[in-house]
Chain A
Amino acid sequence: TPAKKLKRGISSNLVEEYFEAHSSSKVLTSDRTLQKLEKKKLDQESLQNLLSNVPVAFAAEHEKLIKQHESLFYKWMLQLHLGFNIVLYGLGSKKDLLENFRISLLQDSVHLVVNGFFPNITLKSILNSVTEEVLNHLGTFRSPQDQVDFILKRFKEDASLELYLLIHNLDSQMLRGDKNQQILGQLSSLSNVYLIASIDHINAPLMWDQAKQSMYNWLWYETTTFSPYVEETSYENSLLVQHSGSLALSSLTHVLCSLTSNARGIFRLLVEYQLENKDNPSYLGLSFQDLYQRCREAFLVNSDLTLRAQLTEFRDHKLIRTKRGVDGVEYLLIPVDAGTLADFLQKDNDV
């Protein structure tokens, strides 16, 4: 690079060299980003193919390790029955292990498997599957708290009910919220609900304060398996792989978390408007002027310019799309389906 040559040409006086290096205010960073990589981005399938060709090292030892964990199954069951709940930690995917546990021991009992790593999972869907499919109750509830109260009551009344709850990745993006953990804790503190969960995040135990821990009543088991996180990471985006499909709820919340409160407000306005009109087939989107007016009324922006800058940022993150209508006006649209948006709004209200 030219800077380097320049440096070499100058005499070796260290002080001068230092100032020379720092004289130009431009920071020298490499401009070779992953975007400019010669090779075309891989799609999901070809990546999978490539990965499956890689041989597994130490297969026999893996097998042994897993066998060792599997020998604990009966002990887990015993401890679950005595009022403890079990949490698995350690390196490697624990999905297969839990799946084995489910197949070998839980065939004869009601159980619920929750994929915490699934990006669109919400607490509501978990609770709904408990009330609708386990308890056969067809009512709606006003809030998750109500729903949990109902479940608690039913389970306390009827001692013959029992439910095994298997949660993969209890610490996932969507479940790690304080409220979610509180409610899951309340569920697991029931004596006839048996919870067995796995965690992977390094800071997962930070989710639980003392009160929650006492509700969960954890027994910790170290289950290092070294098996690859195939399914867990399939939802994660990587720069090396082209990603397609619409935005997931988790990425939506993720991006929005890093914005200022005003920007979030703007986005909320958009979302609310879009949800109001979701049944309207001729709905094009919110026109820019309209949005500007609304934003001004809510004291979210003070000029045309700031709103435009904000919208550009949204566009960069693929949070919105603009379309020109027949009258030449710009219409703004969020390219996410209504269900996800509703979930998002719900979650945002909770926080």
Chain B
Amino acid sequence: MSTCSVSKGCFVFKPNSNKRKRSSAADYFSKGNDDLDNSELRLDTCLLLWKQIKYETEQLQEDLNKNLFDNLIRFLRQSHLNFKEKKTEWACRMKSSEIPTAAVVLGVNVTDHELTIKSLSGVLQDDVTPFVVSLKSKECPGIKQLLQKVMIQLMGCDVDVDSSDEEEYPKTSPRRVCCSVASLTNWYRNVTKYDLQKTDTESPCKKRTFSSRHWETPPVIIIFKDMESFTTKVLQDFIIMSSHCIREFPLVLIFGIATSPMVIHKLLPHSVSSSLCIELFQCHSSKEHLTKVIDKLLLTSQFPFKISEKVLQVLINIFLYHDFSVHNFVKGFQLSLLEHFYSHPLSVLCCELQESEKRVKLLSHSQFENIRRLPSFRRFVESQVAEKQAALLTDDECLKETTQTLLKDLCSYHENYFPILRCLHAFTSSLPKYPLGKQIRELYCACLEKRVWERDEYESAIQLVRMLAKDELVAILEKCVEILISSSAKCLRKPLEKLEEYVDLLRNLEEASDDQKKSISSLEELQKKTDLYHLQKTLLEMKESRRTKKLTKFEMLRFEIVEFIDGLVRNYLAPAEMQTLHEVMYFSAANTLREHLNATPRAALHTALNNPYFYLKVGNKSETIGLWPHL
């Protein structure tokens, strides 16, 4: 069957039912790879890791949102209580046409909103009320569709929640198609035994019947997911209509706003927005979210998979310069994970230490050859003595043992790396002008790229640290102690003790006050009247004394501490590329990642049209000239 026709544009192909089989991702994974060695294991590892990562990021999102949601729920409770208590009061009756509204500023990263809204409606459903409706602007171009959507979702909600104890209710919610006003009325007559004519008066009555069963009148919450793209008219009409019957029908609106709260006033005229009682809520910024995500995904030794500096740069650049979307960042991370496991045959060893030691034992000869081919391993071999070299290059058994120890080294390297990185960050993040970056991700990039202590920025940072005041220094050192305590690495015990000692010393340090007194007295001397000659002389003396001035005890100690920190950095923060076997855990093909995530179709067309020999790999330009007039 061909897919070329002059009368049709869509072609459906169905396999014969007897032949039909489902092939899973695993098949394609192994088929796409040349060597069949443990491809299944690799895919399993990859999927397992991805599942963990996904779980972690979702957890993180929940934690971050918790604060916002708590505030929202408090607001809902408050407004609802007000509503109930003051129902009889005259003042409230005056105000009762106001709809309590929460405007949530979500930020421009539209991609992440979906998850936030979903968890929000979940939380509201659990804690506040069973009636939560969420509306997308795409679904309601007119007021009719909007009302229909609201009704359907409300009925669905009602039925879902009640069906456990109320058997007589129809389990299936009415189909969207037959949701005309008439059929709605019928449905209502059956359920509520009320005669109703119009859609917008139905809702209050329904409320009455349902609320008699609930011990309190639960509010109905309507979430407008994307406030900006709703048409003004629909919103206005809806708000005006529902504000008329708010007394019977406790309604709460939640607007999801991407830009700024100004947009409410832009979209709604004064007459409409005056019937809203708006309270503003701020969502956490996506930069902060990213910092948390990086913290969780990259700056731990929990996940064996790591990405190299270039890849991290690409991902962060896409985030900062294009979309601000954490969702896309995680997607990029997923892609790099997949690429790594797909393309690198040794990625099978990219797992927990015990597991990887087990896997080393099962490696085949060709895999060992792969290990020998790694550039970092070659470097390692060259640094060994001759007999050892020969053994490593020929004997698989010997290599197996070495590999195990090397993997262990790599693991402990990571364990030490991150606490020390955090300590260094604690120092540099408090400096003026942030020579090594404000965020820890910048510091991480700098450390991954090359030896951090060879950078000029590091030099200036250390200079600045040498000038820190005592209380600042104590604060930072205490932070470092905390970080080191929380990390479980064994080799960091000694630095930890040392640091604690320093903190104690600093606390107990008495200021060498006599030194200061002296300088003060010399200043006083200066202020006395003298002739020019004396003045000059005293000034010279002072200068001399300052140069040779003995350092205070504090300053001595400070130097010592700085030296110590410097040493720590040099010991533990060597870039990953210097480690042997780092290829197993680090994904470094930044280019492919960029191509697949942030492509440039325009540039591709340009090159293809200008110099096609770039793609065709034929000779040079002069040969092809004249042969490509066709396109």
Contact = CB atoms under 8 A, between A and B. Distances in A.
A205 B15 CA distance: 34
Nearest to A140: B177
Contact of B13 (A112, A222, A226): A112
B32 A90 contact: no
Contacts of A160: 22
Interface stretch (B389-397, B500-508, B609-617): B609-617
Interface stretch (A117-125, A276-284, A291-299, A311-319): A117-125
A78 B595 contact: no
Interface string A306-349: 00000000000000000000000000000000000000000000
B631 A113 contact: no
Contact of A61 (B21, B595, B618): B618
Contacts of A202: 601-602, 605
Max chain A C-beta neighbours (<10 A), residue from B23, B109, B624: B23
A199 B25 contact: no
Contacts of A84: 335
Interface residues of B, number: 60
Interface stretch (A21-29, A102-110, A254-262): A102-110
Given A113-B10, A219-B335, A222-B595, A90 B604 contact: yes
A6 B608 CA distance: 46
Given A89-B601, A89-B604, A182-B138, A61 B617 contact: yes
Interface string B1-15: 001100011111111
A200 B602 CA distance: 10
Interface string A74-111: 11011101101000011110000001001000111111
B604 A74 contact: no
Contacts of A113: 3, 10-11, 13
Contacts of A64: 617
Contact of A224 (B25, B109, B604): B604
A89 B604 CA distance: 8
Interface string A211-248: 10110010111101010100100000000000000000
A65 B13 contact: no
B604 A222 contact: yes
A266 B239 CA distance: 37
Contacts of A226: 608, 612, 615-616, 631
Interface string B84-115: 00000000000000000000000001110010
Interface stretch (A33-41, A126-134, A267-275): A126-134
B32 A110 contact: no
A210 B15 contact: no
A187 B598 CA distance: 22
A133 B9 contact: no
Nearest to A245: B6
A18 interface: no
Interface string B106-145: 0001110010000000000000000000000011000000
Interface in B329-381: 331, 334-335, 338, 342
A74 B111 contact: no
What interface size band does chain A fall in?
35 or more
A108 B17 CA distance: 9
A89 B342 CA distance: 23
A224 B342 CA distance: 23
Contacts of B32: 73-75, 77-78
B176 interface: yes
A129 B9 CA distance: 10
Contacts of A142: 177
Contacts of A141: 177
Contact of B627 (A58, A73, A79): A58
Nearest to B628: A57
A149 interface: yes
Contact of B139 (A145, A213, A222): A145
B25 A75 contact: no
A220 B595 contact: yes
B14 A110 contact: yes
A115 interface: yes
A115 B9 contact: yes
Interface stretch (B159-167, B320-328, B422-430, B551-559): B320-328
B318 to A, nearest CB: 12
B303 interface: no
A348 B409 CA distance: 68
The CB with the most chain B CB atoms within 10 A, among A90, A91, A126, A231, is that of: A91
Contacts of A91: 604-605, 608-609, 631
Q: Which of A81, A210, A217 counts the most B-chain CB atoms under 10 A from its CB?
A: A210
B19 interface: yes
Contacts of B226: 211
Nearest to B615: A224
Given A79-B338, A222-B595, A107 B325 contact: no
B550 interface: no
A62 interface: yes
B9 A74 contact: no
Contacts of A222: 595, 599, 601, 604
Nearest to A149: B176
A252 to B, nearest CB: 16
A254 B12 CA distance: 29
A304 interface: no
B215 interface: no
A208 to B, nearest CB: 12
Contacts of B523: none
Given A74-B31, A75-B342, A110-B14, A205 B601 contact: yes
Nearest to A117: B9
Given A213-B111, A214-B111, 7 more contacts: A58-B616, A77-B28, A89-B601, A110-B15, A115-B11, A219-B335, A220-B596
7 contacts: A57-B628, A79-B338, A91-B605, A102-B13, A110-B12, A142-B177, A145-B139
**3 A-B pairs with least C-beta separation:** A74-B32, A220-B599, A121-B9
